[in-house]
Amino acid sequence: MIRCIAIDDEPLALRQIIGYIKKTPFLELSGQCESALKAIDVLKNIPVDLMFVDINMPDLNGMDFVKTLENPPKIVFVTAYSEYALEGFRVDAIDYLLKPIGYGDFLKSANKARNYFENVLPQATKKGGDREYLFVKSGYKMVRISLEDIIYIEGMREYVRIHLLNGKSLLPLISLRVLEEQLPSDKFMRVHRSYIVNLEKITTIDHSRIIFEGKVYIPVSEQYKEIFQKYIHSHSLG
């Protein structure tokens, strides 16, 4: 469960966000505040993962409130004014909701938060060439995968399919782009909008196709062909 607080000086707007939080199965309401100043005290006493924060509030507005926090929870800003959107993303907000808010828009933001906590955050503990493994969510479990065991990764809309040496595969809810950012670039390369390959597992290259173990054929698209060819030339004898 993602522990949330709602912060808004408008009673009707606050009740609406509270109702949406309670309606969403993977969210848990940990607190509600009519001002940013009250929220400061709440954050000192209870653990919070996600804040739904109104921007235009008296005494201390939501944007300035977030900037005062040393290690803030993740944030979804809620406001009637669109001009704050860019500044909201500069403080690493997950989303920016414009009033009046329907439940559909709220749920989209909540799902973005869930994707962050279930997929992005666990993978962000190690990055780059020092990474030897990653954790991905499979069903209701977090599964540790050694990078050496990955042959290639296939993008499937909201999911990816990670193909492993043992013939098995995992289907975590994460985008190929996000996963690409977490993998060491000296070992893994995007060769197609739908594929990332483990460079150390390539056995044969036939024209614009990568072959794994003589039975899996991965296309190299025009968009990625130049960088892939540079890699091959740098590891060729002739």
Are 11 and 108 in a shared domain? yes
The CATH number of the domain where 202 resides is what? 2.40.50.1020
Domain count for the chain, please give it: 2
> Can you read off the two tokens belonging to residue 86?
């860019």
Q: Which of 79, 95, 123 is the last residue of a domain?
A: 123
Q: Which amino acid is at 50?
A: L
Percentage of the residues of the chain whose pLDDT score is greater than 70: 87
Sorting pLDDT into bands at 50, 70 and 90, what band is 90? Answer: low
Question: Which DSSP category does 41 fall into?
Answer: H
Are 146 and 119 in a shared domain? no
For the stretch 171-230, pLDDT in tens is: 887 778 878 878 888 889 999 999 999 998 998 988 889 988 778 899 999 888 888 888
Within the chain, strands assigned E span 2-7, 27-33, 50-54, 74-79, 95-98, 133-138, 141-146, 150-156, 159-164, 169-170, 188-192, 195-198, 204-206, 209-212, 216-219
Are 59 and 153 in a shared domain? no
- Angstrom distance (rounded) from CA 180 to CA 178: 5
For the stretch 126-169, pLDDT in tens is: 444 456 888 877 665 678 889 999 999 999 876 889 999 988 89
Are 12 and 111 in a shared domain? yes
User: Has residue 88 got a pLDDT over 60?
Assistant: no
What does pTM read for this prediction? 0.52
Question: Which DSSP category does 173 fall into?
Answer: B
Domain that holds residue 20: 2-123
Say how many C-beta atoms besides its own lie within 10 A of residue 92's C-beta: 10
The CATH number of the domain where 67 resides is what? 3.40.50.2300
Are 9 and 118 in a shared domain? yes
